[in-house]
Amino acid sequence: MNNIAIFASGSGTNAQAIIEYLRSVNKDSVKLILSNNPEAYVLQRAKKLNIKSEIFTKNQFFNSEYVLQILENENIELIVLAGFLWLIPQNILQRYNKRMINIHPALLPNYGGKGMYGARVHEAVVANSESETGITIHFVNEEYDKGEIILQAKCTIEPTDTPEIVAQKVHALEYEYFPKTIENVLDSIKKEKLF
Residue 195 pLDDT greater than 60, yes or no? no
Query: Terminus-to-terminus CA distance in the chain, angstroms?
Result: 16
Residue 2: the pLDDT is 80
* pTM strictly above 0.85: yes
User: Is 171 labeled as catalytic in the residue annotation?
Assistant: no
Q: Which domain holds residue 129?
A: 3-194
User: How much of the chain is helix, strand and coil, in % rounded to 5?
Assistant: 40, 20, 40
Looking at every residue in the chain, the average pLDDT score rounds to: 94
Cβ atoms within 10 Å, residue 129: 8
Mean pLDDT of all residues in 104-114: 95
Residue 194: the pLDDT is 67
CB-count exposure of residue 33 (10 Å: 0-12, 13-18, 19+) = buried
DSSP for 98-142? TSEEEEESS-TTTT-STT--THHHHHHHHHTT-SEEEEEEEE--S
**DSSP reduced 3-state for 64:** coil
CATH number at residue 58: 3.40.50.170
Mean pLDDT of all residues in 169-193: 91
CB-count exposure of residue 174 (10 Å: 0-12, 13-18, 19+) = buried
Beta carbons of 7 and 34 less than 8 angstroms apart: yes
Q: State how many domains the chain has.
A: 1
Q: Of 48, 49, 67, 50, whose CA–CA distance to 59 is shortest? A: 67
Segment 17-54, tens digit of pLDDT:
999 999 999 888 999 999 999 999 999 999 999 999 99
Residue 193: the pLDDT is 72
Active-site hit among 104, 122, 138, 171 = 104
